[in-house]
Structure 1
Amino acid sequence: MADAKPFEDIDREDIAAQTEVREAVGIFDTQDQLQAAIDELQLAGFDRFELGLVDTDAARDAPAHHLADDPTTPRKNYVAPESFGDAQGGLIAGFAMLPAMGTAAVVAGTGAAVAVTAAATVATGGVGALVGGALAYMATRKRADTQTTQENQGGHLLWVRVRTPGHEQKALDILRRHAAHHVHTHD
């Protein structure tokens, strides 16, 4: 421990050099091209955490090709369409089940007939499902609006972290195969 430097003597450039990440970058004209590239990247062994997309809520006004090499560009993690669908189903089911179960417990606790309890449960669950469905629809619209915004600003920007020169070449080949443009790497 005698070799350790005091915190204030640590060279920030040494820290930055240790945390540099090499990335392949590509811009896709359509969501379908982007998704096909992501699917192939994952099949080729790239992990989801190695894929980054531009956060259009934070970087709304700049074209994609201006953001590609800017390290301050806000990013978000890739979320698979299947995961998004699971979240929508959870919203609908949650809003349907929780009120329905609560209503069933309250109505049954009053000693009401089974038919009355069932009717109250179904009605409450239906209203809850409508609320959950509305929220799921709003989430779907937001996602669609984000995709449209990206296409209007020059395309869908994808960053892929690469670990080795072979990994880098594989990423570049996949991006090009799926019609990405402005394909290159950077640190």
Structure 2
Amino acid sequence: MREAVAVFHDFAALESAVDELRDAGFAKDDISLLAGEDTVERKLGHSYSRVEELEDEPDVPRTAFVSSETIGRREDMVISSLTTLPTLLAAGVVVASAGAVAAALAGTALAGAMVGTALARWMDKRHAAWLEEQLERGGILLWVRTPDEMAERKAITVLTRHSAHDVHIHEIPRAG
């Protein structure tokens, strides 16, 4: 098995490239990114200064690509669930208690919304920190598994079209 490797300096270009790769028939599981710095250093047992050092490293930990749209949907779900559930509970208790505890539960619903918003901001900051960490070390490293020569050509064309640099193909060592 072989894979295409590329480094991006812009998240929007990376997202566009991944969208085009997916449209061209590459599966979600065929596309991966470099994991976070702590994970990489723990797995490899050493630090790195540039992502290029890891392009062809067979044991480097990877993570799935997650689009901005997907992150936004996850944040919306977190906020929605932490707002809606307390509100529904409050409504049920208000009906059951003829309004006696409505004020307390309204506060619970507000607290849920605040927690949801805080979690969404944390998710945004965590993703932004990961991107910044990658960019500070030379770019966002992307791998695309290519089962045959036609897929290799297709991946190289897409990655090059979206301003990736250091685009190349390498062998994936077979697991022992």
TM-score, length basis structure 1: 0.81
Alpha-carbon offset, residue 120 of structure 1: 5.3
Paired with 1:161 and 1:101, the residues of 2 have a C-alpha distance of: 46
1:46 is paired with a residue whose SS is: coil
| 2:74 maps to 1:93 | no
Q: Say if 2:78 and 2:116, in contact at 8 Å, map to a contact too.
A: yes
The corresponding residue for 1:49 is 29
Pick one of 105, 111, 118 that aligns with 2:98. 111
Which has the greater radius of gyration? 1
Pick one of 150, 157, 163 that aligns with 1:179. 163
Pick one of 135, 154, 171 that aligns with 1:170. 154
Alpha-carbon offset, residue 106 of structure 1: 2.5
TM-score, length basis structure 2: 0.86
User: 1:85-140 deviations in whole A, cap 9, x for unaligned?
Assistant: 11101110111112222222233322227xx74x6554432221111010000000
Alpha-carbon offset, residue 76 of structure 1: 0.6
| 2:74 maps to 1:84 | no
Q: Say if 2:6 and 2:143, in contact at 8 Å, map to a contact too.
A: yes
The one-letter code sitting in structure 2 at the alignment partner of 1:184 is H
| 2:42 maps to 1:58 | no
Q: Say if 1:91 and 1:136, in contact at 8 Å, map to a contact too.
A: yes
- Count of residue pairs the alignment pairs up: 164
Consecutive aligned runs of 4 or more in structure 1 exceeding 4 Å deviation: 119-122
Alpha-carbon offset, residue 165 of structure 1: 0.3
Q: Say if 1:172 and 1:183, in contact at 8 Å, map to a contact too.
A: yes
| 2:61 maps to 1:74 | yes
The corresponding residue for 1:133 is 117
| 2:135 maps to 1:151 | yes
Q: Say if 1:24 and 1:159, in contact at 8 Å, map to a contact too.
A: yes
Long gaps (5+) in structure 1: 1-20
Alignment RMSD: 1.7
Paired with 1:109 and 1:142, the residues of 2 have a C-alpha distance of: 41
User: 1:38-79 deviations in whole A, cap 9, x for unaligned?
Assistant: 111112111211100000141264221011100110101112
User: 1:121-169 deviations in whole A, cap 9, x for unaligned?
Assistant: 5443222111101000000001001101100001000000111101101
The one-letter code sitting in structure 2 at the alignment partner of 1:164 is D
